[in-house]
Amino acid sequence: DAGITQSPRYKITETGRQVTLMCHQTWSHSYMFWYRQDLGHGLRLIYYSAAADITDKGEVPDGYVVSRSKTENFPLTLESATRSQTSVYFCASRWTPNNEQFFGPGTRLTVL
Amino acid sequence: KQEVTQIPAALSVPEGENLVLNCSFTDSAIYNLQWFRQDPGKGLTSLLLIQSSQREQTSGRLNASLDKSSGRSTLYIAASQPGDSATYLCAVLDAKAAGNKLTFGGGTRVLVKP
């Protein structure tokens, strides 16, 4: 199906484990983004990418790593998960700065 | 630094009443403003995008206005229905921010009572 998909939709892991959240979009949008959403903090940008092989930090990048070898994929890796990284993670994409931004369905991550 | 505020944080109206949702931003140098809807446990759904050169945008029962000079946008939802119950977020694309990133408001949680 066209659009943005995220996998897994739900994930439970333990402190110290590495976790990778996947994001795939079928529109060939240039821009892709990772956000986390927490009560009391709203949506916060983790990392973003303007094109394949171009990534940059957002507001809260510590503890996360991204890559973008292909335009359509933008995986987010938690190198050593901590309880403070328990959150709902959203991937988003946009064609150009002046276009609408679209969001994926989210991944609910729990770190025990 | 751009700041986006949505007041009130929560709103309850009877079915059929028109909804008026407010969004204010501190820096008028924006490319565009986007309104989203978020249902509990779901992702954000784009409702309307208003470019900085536009004054309003309409889609069905939704109408969004933009007044850049005063740093305000208003989302109007006509003849509200229980299915309109959700959290509504506005976001601005700041012309001065690196990376063309959206700045989000905290959202207004809407409950439409039957």
**Residue A98 gets which letter from DSSP?**
T
Q: Please report the residues numbered 64 through 103 in chain A whose beta carbons come closer than 8 angstroms to any beta carbon of chain B.
A: 90, 92, 94, 97-103
What is the rounded average pLDDT of the residues B58-80?
96
Whole-Å CA distances, B18 to A108, B28, B45, B63, B107: 34, 27, 21, 11, 18
**Average pLDDT, whole number, for chain B?**
94
Using CA atoms, how far apart are residues A72 and A29, in angstroms rounded to an integer? 7
What is the rounded average pLDDT of the residues B75-100?
91
Q: Which of A50, A56, A101 sits opposite B102 (nearest CB)?
A: A101
Using CA atoms, how far apart are residues A72 and A111, in angstroms rounded to an integer? 27
For residue B98, pLDDT over 90 is answered with no
CA nearest neighbour of B97 among B3, B25, B1, B7: B1
For residue A1, pLDDT over 60 is answered with no
For residue A101, pLDDT over 90 is answered with yes
For residue A47, the one-letter residue type is Y
Helix H or strand E segment including B76:
strand B72-77
For residue B91, pLDDT over 60 is answered with yes
